[in-house]
Amino acid sequence: MKLFREAIYPLIAVILAFAIGGVIVLIIGDNPFAAFWIFIESSFGSVKGITETLFYATPLIFTGLAVAVAFRCGLLNIGAEGQLYVAAFATAWVGIKFGGTIVNVFGKQEDWSWVSLPAILLIPMCIATAIIVGGLWGAIPGYLKARFGSHEVINTIMLNFIAIALVSYFTQYYYKVPGDPILQTAPIGEAAHIPQLNQFLPFIPETVALNVSFLIAILMCVLVYVFLWKTKWGYELRAVGQNPDAAEYGGISPKKQIVIAMAISGALAGMVAIGEVLGFRHNYYDGFSGSWGFFGIAVALLGRNHPFGVLIAAIFFAMIIRGGLFIDIDTKYITKDLVEVLQAVIILLVASLQKYTK
């Protein structure tokens, strides 16, 4: 019965959100059924649409899992955005310094790398960097919470500003190719590139940037589920989230679990860099995130903080994001702002229905 409630109330929230959105569309003078069909058809009406939707879903899976793990420990990680930024920059830095990067600076070839490693070493090194750096940035507010009792929401919000400002500074003054008008680093070495899925699945269009990071995201859903519900460490983390006093009475250290949960949360958010830096842009681009860290909160809420719920919710929000790209073109009055309206209404409704799943 509880599993049924966990599934039915988010579904009710989505239906109500679209009903409210439909009324708004009707008021402004457009056809709500035609508008919502655009979301579905553009996202699932073709192979290109499906694979593009999965591409948009990939970072949302990582950030949704990140927020969900923190939620399970009774914490609210608002800092996934900052964690994925520092991880992306660090990943690009490793790809540059160990990838044999040659940069054309005013007509002169300069070697910006320290050494050129083969792909079999460089790719795991870059992935490990994304995980470790994201985890360390996430552990900072966890430690501050455990050691001094400072609220993780305030700490993570402030660390977002610090993270984005720091990586922008280093990009601008140390790793941007001179003369490049775009605030981005030099490209990573080719050995750090991860494969696109169209290399293995010819039916995926070459223009779609869906890459191996999507498969890693699916794997992380499975691993997070196993960790949370099939291991002693996951049980301890969830016990602190349910009742920290009772957990401590049972011999579990809430302070330790807080740091662990935030570190794991940051590591998952940092894994956004795998697809973004190694699989898509092949550098660090300032402002690359489409607010994925904040979208992760909505994904985790709709997915009921369960890894497989997060997967479904991420695909759903990816559908809304992709549909928003077409809504301006194919309707008379609606703009892509409808995406933000739907997202906000869904969050409000899911939060309102929270008590019925307990």
pLDDT tens, residue by residue, 324-333: 888 877 787 7
User: Global pTM?
Assistant: 0.95
Give how many domains the chain has, as a whole number. Answer: 1
> Is 243 among the domain residues?
yes
Per-residue pLDDT tens digits of the chain, which is 358 residues long: 566 666 787 888 888 888 888 888 898 888 888 888 988 998 999 999 999 999 999 999 999 999 999 999 999 999 999 999 999 999 999 999 999 999 989 889 999 999 999 999 999 999 999 999 999 999 999 999 999 999 999 999 999 999 999 999 999 999 999 999 999 999 999 999 999 999 999 999 999 999 999 999 999 999 999 999 999 999 999 999 999 999 999 999 999 999 999 999 999 999 999 999 999 999 999 999 989 999 999 999 999 999 999 999 999 999 988 888 888 777 877 877 777 787 788 878 877 766 555 5
Q: What is the predicted pLDDT for the residue at 259?
A: 98
Instruction: Establish if 38 belongs to a structural domain.
Output: no
Does residue 347 form part of some domain? yes
Instruction: Please indicate, yes or no, if residue 194 is contained in any of the structural domains.
Output: yes
pLDDT of residue 355: 57
Residue found by looking up tokens 């300032």 in the block: 286
Is 197 inside any structural domain? Answer: yes
Domain contains 236: yes
3-state secondary structure 170-210: HHHHHHCCCCCCCCECCCCCHHHCCCEHHHCCCCCCCCCCC
Domain assignment of residue 40, yes or no: no
Residue 334: per-residue pLDDT? 80
Range(s) of the domain holding residue 303: 2-23+46-357
Q: Is 109 exposed, middle or buried (0-12, 13-18, 19+ CB in 10 A)?
A: exposed
Distance (Å, rounded) from C-alpha 171 to C-alpha 287?
Answer: 12
Q: CATH code at 108?
A: 1.10.3470
The pLDDT score that the predictor gives to residue 32 is 86
The closest of 331, 324, 349 to 15, measured between CA atoms, is 349
SS3 for 106-169 is: CCEEEECCCCECCHHHHHHHHHHHHHHHHHHHHHHHHHHHHHHCCCHHHHHHHHHHHHHHHHHH
29 located within any domain:
no
- Reported as type and span, the H/E element at residue 104 is strand 102-105
